[in-house]
Amino acid sequence: MPIEITNVEKGVPIKSWTVGVPFEPEARQQLKNIASLPFVHKWVAAMPDVHLGKGATIGSVIPTSGAIIPAAVGVDIGCGMMAVKTDLQAIQLPDSLKELRSNIERAIPHGRKPGKRDPGSWQNLPDDIAGRWNSELADRFKLLCEKHPVLKNTNNAKHLGTLGTGNHFVEVCLDENDAVWIMLHSGSRGVGNRIGEHFIQLAKKEMERFFIQLPDRDLAYLAEGTDYFNDYVEAVGWAQDYARINRQSMMRRALDALAFTLNKPVIAEKEAVNCHHNYVQKEHHFGANVWLTRKGAVSAQEGQLGIIPGSMGARSFIVRGKGNEESFCSCSHGAGRVMSRTQAKKIVSLEEHAQATSHVECRKDAAVVDETPRAYKDIDAVMAAQSDLVEIVHTLRQVVCVKG
């Protein structure tokens, strides 16, 4: 598909993979604000699911040299997807999937108060969660808290292995050959939010301290070589590890719930993908080592597998990257919203939502209307717009969806 190029006065260009999909003026302006920053490397890339975010546009890829913008990384640090293909076929699933959804909901704490939804005592961490926290995360987090005490009062350990709210979900899906997959979407939960907000505020104070004027205060940055920058890189790396482990922990429990429902073992080693889509890491692009922020974007290096989900009632895709350097080897992270949550709740009726998700065993109440399919862009148009970034390996359709 052709790339739309927008030249920015006193800034780098914007390259957009947005042919055939909505691209709101407010999001365009946010991208121009980012492109005007002096440390952006080469250009900013906009994915086909691009839409308005806080400070930085969701669905953008931002290469920077010598600085990182914490608000561009966002507060759901390491948010991403995981999917596994099981050894099951659709015919092996029960006719009614309600029990399976209930078992997944019991196995994975979700919602705003996940502890109340767990039949056991969530105050006492289950062995599998406690083991991973203590062996991989606890000591590093203690060191972070010594430098930044504000991070102490978070539910970090208790939130590990929990889903959260909003657009986070666990789904049972069928691929084009009726193989059964489990796919989930979540991130670093409350502790990632605290880390993100803390360093966003520190970056804003740095801008004030050095009298740096920005087109948007949320584009406040941390300069490489400073203590705050080094602390942020350490903290964001920890949160990204937390998010990855969080998804792995929930996946294990979802598979156990599936096996319990069917009263048979479930093998899930055929294919597995675990990818971030809100994160920053060091990468080499166009002759330079840069900090690459993917805010609502997935790494699509040549041959690399990724996940691009649709909405509750739409198809999702397992994809393989084509390594397109023009996009800094990236692709979209989903369909992208066309309605705010408030708009969706005002415009979309419960009847419409129920009809749009009639083929999925899921919640159909007013609390999830903001996640209804019409609140998102057409996933098929999004995929068509990035045909030069990824190839489709599997097409998944949901049969069960658990929302927080």
For residue 46, which of 35, 61, 56 has the smallest C-alpha distance? Answer: 61
Is 352 contained in some domain? no
CA 83 → CA 213, 275, 319, 336, distances in Å?
A: 43, 9, 12, 19
Is 292 contained in some domain? yes
Is 198:151 a contact under the CB 8 Å cutoff? Answer: yes
Is 253 contained in some domain? yes
Is 37 contained in some domain? yes
Number of domains within the chain: 1
Is 158:189 a contact under the CB 8 Å cutoff? Answer: no
pLDDT at 113: 59
Is 228:206 a contact under the CB 8 Å cutoff? Answer: yes
Is 285 contained in some domain? yes
Domain of residue 205, residue span:
4-338+376-403
Q: Where are the alpha helices (DSSP H) in 174-263?
A: 189-209, 227-262
| Whole-angstrom distance, CA of residue 321 vs CA of residue 79 | 19
Among 148, 333, 353, 394, which one carries the catalytic annotation? 333
CATH number at residue 20: 3.90.1860.10
pLDDT at 119: 40
pLDDT at 112: 66
pLDDT at 270: 64
Residue length, the chain? 404
Is 61 contained in some domain? yes
Q: Side-chain half-sphere of 257: how many Cα atoms within 13 Å?
A: 25
Q: Is 185 a catalytic residue?
A: no
Is 344 contained in some domain? no
Is 199 contained in some domain? yes
| Whole-angstrom distance, CA of residue 294 vs CA of residue 129 | 28
pLDDT at 124: 63
Return the DSSP state at 389: T
pLDDT at 297: 98
| Whole-angstrom distance, CA of residue 194 vs CA of residue 184 | 23
Tens digit of pLDDT per residue, the chain (404 long)?
689 999 999 999 999 999 999 999 999 999 999 999 999 999 999 999 999 998 789 999 999 999 999 999 999 999 999 999 999 999 999 999 999 999 999 999 987 655 443 444 334 678 889 999 999 999 999 999 999 999 998 888 889 999 988 889 999 999 999 999 999 999 999 999 999 999 999 999 999 999 999 999 999 999 999 999 999 999 999 999 999 999 999 999 999 999 999 999 999 966 779 999 999 999 999 999 999 999 999 999 999 999 999 988 899 999 999 999 999 999 999 999 999 999 999 999 999 999 999 999 999 999 899 999 999 999 999 999 999 999 999 999 999 999 87
